[in-house]
Amino acid sequence: MHINRKKIIINEINAKHALGISGMKELDYTLNPYLGCLHGCLYCYAIGMNPKNIAGDWGNVLYVRKNITEILQMEAKKYKKGIVGISSITDPYNPVEGKYRLTRNSIEILAKNNFYVTLQTKSPLALRDIDIIKKYRNIIDIGYTITTMDEKIKDMIEPYSPSVRSRMRALKKFSENGIKTWIFIGPIIKNINDNLNDIYNIIEFASKIKSRIIYDKYVNYPGPGKYMENINYGISDSAWWNDMELKINGMCHDLNVLCTSEQADWLYERGQKTLF
For residue 237, what is the DSSP state? -
User: What is the rounded CA–CA span in Å between residue 57 and residue 241?
Assistant: 31
Rounding to the nearest 10 degrees, give the CA dihedral for residues 257, 212, 116, 218: -130
- The whole model's pTM is what? 0.95
Query: Half-sphere exposure (CA, 13 Å, Cβ side) for 240?
Result: 14
User: What is the rounded CA–CA span in Å between residue 259 and residue 247?
Assistant: 12
Antiparallel, parallel or unpaired: β 140-145 and 180-188: parallel
Q: Cα angle at 242 between 240 and 248, to 5 degrees? A: 100
Per-residue pLDDT of the chain (276 residues; tens, 9 = 90+): 444 567 899 999 999 999 999 988 899 999 999 999 999 999 999 999 999 999 999 999 999 999 999 999 999 999 999 999 999 999 999 999 999 999 999 999 999 999 999 999 999 999 999 999 999 999 999 999 999 999 999 999 999 999 999 999 999 999 999 999 999 999 999 999 999 999 999 999 999 999 999 999 999 998 999 999 989 999 999 999 999 999 999 999 999 999 999 988 887 777 766 544
DSSP characters over 179-200: -EEEEEEEEE-TTTS--HHHHH
